[in-house]
Structures are given as C-alpha cells and as structure tokens.
Amino acid sequence: MRELLIGTGNAGKLNEYRALLARVPLRLLNLHDVGLAHLDVDESGDTVAANAQIKALAYAEASGLPTLADDTGLMVDALNGEPGVYAARYGGPGLTMPQRRARLLAKLAGLPDERRTARFTCAIVLADPRTGGSITVEGVCEGRIAHEEAEGEHGFGYDAIFIPVGYDIPWSRVPLDDKNRISHRGQAAQQIIPHLLRLAED
C-alpha cells in the first residue's frame, strides 16, 4: 500500500483525516512517523492556500513522499477578518490555544449573535515530490462565534467556540460524522479524494 504523508503533528487533525479519507487505500503517516516533527516551516503566505502549499512542498521534499498539507483561516466579520490566516498564532507567540480562544471571545464580548458571524476557510494541497507539482482545493464553512467556550468530545483549535450554520452547538459537540460532512476541511477533503484515488493506483 502506498504511503501518504499528512503534514501535521496535530493528533486531532490526523484523526479527522483518517476519518475523512477512510475509503482511500493509502497508508497515512504523520510528521512524527517520518522524523520530521522538528522541521520548522515558515508559513509566510498571506492566504491559506499559499501557506498550505508552502507546507506541502517542504514536507514532500524532505520526506520524498506524496504529501497532503492544509491551512485553515478563521475570519470574524466584526473583527475585520481577524484572526484570518493567523488563527494558529493569534495573539502572538507563547499563547496556548485556550488563551487564543479566550482572547477572541473577549474581543467580541457583548456583541449579539447577528454581529458574531464568521467563517472557516480550509485549503488542502497535495504535493508530489516526483514531479514537483501540486493540487490545491478549498472549502468554506459559514457560522458564528459562540458567547462562551463549550467543551465537547470532538474537535480542536477553535471548534469549541465556532457554531456552524444550521446548528446551535459548536463543532466540539457536533457528531464527528456530521462535522466531517459539512466542515471546511470536510468539503476540501471531498474534492481531493479523487486525486488521492488516482495516486493510490499509480
């Protein structure tokens, strides 16, 4: 079975990809599996697609394996698009993800639901080290920011404070099958699956 490197050391993200790509006959590896968890890639792009491509190409070159990498942005309308592509670094270095979520909630304190609109955008890039080429797909999920954090069994990052359209609970409490079907990453993954199936047949 051919191997596919998922360019992440995030266990939550890897578990999502294992579910999203369950029907793809590829063995999924993460950065720890191939000894690249230490590789520091400078995400200097100004869009999620640019950052995903930077990561995918770097990890593909370093590993010699076909590599899938993604980048996600959270755009909050009331904050003029913050945190945007800096979602994972929001508030500066040294903050934990709970602190980043708390910072975002504090900035929106007192705003009613209709002014808390936001969207997640995810770009997935598949890079092939044999050709140096790459494929990019994107998915978007509209929603709003909750008034407070809600713990749940699923999710990571900002999932505990993002309520997708059609729900009154955040991603962290949405059943995983539902999340994978309509989330920004789920939408992008569905678009990349045909390319992965072709890769598996090579």
pLDDT digit string, tens, across residues 61-72: 999 999 999 999
The stretch 35-55 carries a mean pLDDT of 92
pLDDT tier at 154, thresholds 50, 70, 90: low
Q: Average pLDDT over the chain, rounded to whole?
A: 93
The whole-number pLDDT of residue 61 equals 96
Catalytic: which of 40, 42, 71, 202? 71
Domains and CATH numbers, the chain: 3-201 (3.90.950.10)
* Residue 71 designated active-site: yes
80 pLDDT more than 70: yes
Whole-model pTM: value is: 0.90
Nearest of 16, 107, 124 to residue 66 by alpha carbon: 124
